[in-house]
Structure 1
């Protein structure tokens, strides 16, 4: 059921991780997903987003900045949660608080305020998080959360790993796959370049992918390479990882450019124009937005069989089963030499795109409705 059917309209607070900066210039991946969730929701006015205070927040009409309380001994995330509890003592508790990607914050709130209805929204593998690593910790969350929302089936399976004895509660754990705004109304005109975009960190596979492209591109005149992204989501000097990439692509000369961090509007322009896009994750990426945006822009996408990526890319992209420089090079050779294959991928990506931001928001709202209707049994 949609949230808009409830009367009176429920008040829902969304609590971001402390490290997130909910601003246009420095937004991390979770902030970007939350912005899209609220903007695309049919119940957008029912949300309040809370996070670390920033000077120029995105969506200032629904953002409340907090300063972590006693962070020097509590830590930033629990400090932010303590500040949130202090705030709702004044403003009143919401009907639902949605904690994003911090198991320890969800547990802290459940223990400090047992009457509070809490939904945990997981963007990453909880087995790698504080208060989510062990089966016992995840069992506590399953028993004490009103609902748990995961960005992919992969993340749902991670959460339920070892919880076979909790089948009666597994229905609490739902999936709202990440989505992307379909900003183009008609198929774009594609240009002969490969777009390699993402954070400049080793697990994203940018260096290995750039190495493969540097080997392949000299054999394909008329094709260029564009690399976009930075180590952090802010303007910063190139670090050693970026330097390695720059040296690898240097022999391509003017045929290769590194743009560093670029704003969303500029990134979308490059995505719309790129004939080929690459999202070469080496780690188990839960549901990367770069994959979804590449498909939304009708790119011929090269990506990897990692994490939740195949849930969106299967049948719509060239998926590399075992990521390596050699296998990336083979994949790019296929895309560059076989025009029919490349165009088929572009057409499929454009015509078969169910991963919109509105679909994501609608699914998440239905899961929130279920959480609001649930009877929590504290344990």
Structure 2
């Protein structure tokens, strides 16, 4: 039987019981607790927190120690000179798919060109695009015409914030029916503590050590304020990439800015996710001073889950979670961040009120994220799909 003539018993939508979902990660994401990026941890939480975790299978680049409590299928990238690693991973997925029962929905995370490629190769499948970043900066979705074409082909477009949904629809001439194919699923995490834990006088930054995250501005701001408050510490946890590597020129600038603080400041480099969550549970203040339009940084959700006082910037999708639960800086700069830091560390009542607000009002659970994602998937598989013999498509 040729791949074009699939046994009806394994065709998408031709089985009985719980729908099957395949989640395809970007090729650089490591689905491992040792070095997972944000997208990989979100995918793991989507599976673990679903009411039907057995219905979700995650596909990604092979790793030595994948998350043990998820259905994970490692793929060997099919490398060719004419395409990159993401299309190579998609080709590996399509090759493996010929030997598997078909899913009701293929959910492509973070790569617009991969979603289009899979739909072109297999138009009989329903494909959803799960956007974690601004699609206008992505291959295959940079123009409004490309995004309109994606909206036409995809069974659903899932966005991590209303901000990202607006980015996707920017300039797209879409009817209400087409626009309804877009869904917002805010990121979520599970709390590690049963009750709010005591906090240490630590300001914590977690994330990539890159300019758009406002790391240097935070370092310079803290260097102005913290020498006057020696009981307070500053910790930067993260690196330029997902794994430990030589410091970039930007990281060296951050390091130089912290010299004045001496033992009050540390840069840990990349840490496993479990260690990050432990640090977050202890920190009195967690900072997310993004300069760019950050879509929905997971650290914002993690800070609220930890019951820490969140210092955030009014950028991208951040206010959707932080408004009313955090100290928000409208225009992140060294001066505005320094002022915010001093207020947070000197005004105990204000800092404690933010910690209490974060703990008491926390709707961003992993279970809620998974429930919202399942609703979007159910809407996608309920819609009709045009069935054609798969090939290169149009």
| TM superposition score category, shorter chain reference | over 0.9
2:271 to 255, 262, 266: 262
- Whole-angstrom distance in 2 between the partners of 1:138 and 1:298: 38
Distance 1:185 1:258 in 2: 29
- Following the alignment from structure 2 to structure 1, what is the Cα–Cα distance between the partners of residues 70 and 182? 30
Question: What 5-or-longer segments of structure 1 have no aligned partner?
Answer: 1-5
Q: Does 1:68 align with 2:77?
A: yes
| Counterpart position of 2:63 | 54
Q: Which residue of 2 aligns with 1:333?
A: 342
Matched, 1:44 2:53: yes
Q: Does 1:83 align with 2:92?
A: yes
Equivalent-residue separation in structure 2 for 1:168 and 1:144 (angstroms): 13
* Residue segments in structure 2 that go unaligned for 5+ positions in a row: 1-14, 388-393
- Tell me which residue corresponds to 1:343: 352
| Counterpart among 156, 173, 178 of residue 165 in structure 2 | 156
- Distance in 2, Cα, partners of 1:161 & 1:60: 38
**What are the residue-to-residue correspondences of 1:169-208 with 2, within 5 Å?**
169-208=178-217
Deviation at 1:266, TM superposition (A): 2.0
Measured against aligned partners, the alpha-carbon deviations of 1:201-248 in whole angstroms (never above 9, x if no partner) come to 111111110110010112223212122111111122323222211211
**Is the deviation greater in 217-226 or in 37-46?**
217-226
Quick one: distance in 1 between partners of 2:174 and 2:129?
20
TM-score of the pair, normalised by structure 1: 0.95
Structure showing the higher helix proportion among its residues: 1
In structure 2, the CA distance between the partners of 1:263 and 1:79, relative to structure 1 (3 Å rule), is closer
Taking a change above 3 Å as real, the CA distance of residues 55 and 291 of structure 1, as seen in their structure-2 partners, is same
Equivalent-residue separation in structure 2 for 1:165 and 1:194 (angstroms): 44
Q: Residues 26 and 291 of structure 1: is their aligned pair in 2 closer, same or farther, counting only changes over 3 Å?
A: same
> SS state of the match for residue 285, structure 1?
coil
1:241 equivalent in alignment to 2:250: yes
Q: Answer yes or no: is the 8 Å Cα contact 2:35–2:273 preserved in 1.
A: no
1:3 aligns with none
Work out the CA distance in 1 between the residues paired with 2:180 and 2:94.
28
Cα-to-partner distance string for 1:270-313 (whole Å, 9 max, x where unaligned): 21111111111111111111111111111111110111000000
Per the alignment, residue 217 of structure 1 pairs with: 226
Farther-moved stretch of structure 1 (8-17 vs 303-312): 8-17
Aligned mates of 1:221, 1:93 — CA distance in 2: 60
State the partner residue of 1:144: 153
Secondary structure at 2:180 match in 1: helix
The 5 A counterparts of 1:273-292 are 273-292=282-301
Contact 2:44/2:70, CA 8 A, preserved across alignment: no
What secondary structure does 1:48 align onto?
strand
Shift of 1:141: 1.1
Q: Deviations over 1:68-98 (max 9, x none)?
A: 2243212211121122111111213211110
Q: Distance in 2 between matches of 1:55 and 1:177?
A: 30
- TM-score, normalising length from structure 2? 0.91
Counterpart CA distance in 1 for 2:173 and 2:337 is: 38
The residue that corresponds to 1:31 in the other structure is: 40
Matched, 1:134 2:143: yes
Is 1:305 matched up with 2:332?
no
Matched, 1:320 2:329: yes
- Contact 1:25–1:234 under 8 Å retained in 2: no
Q: Alignment length, in residue pairs?
A: 374
1:230 alignment partner in structure 2: 239
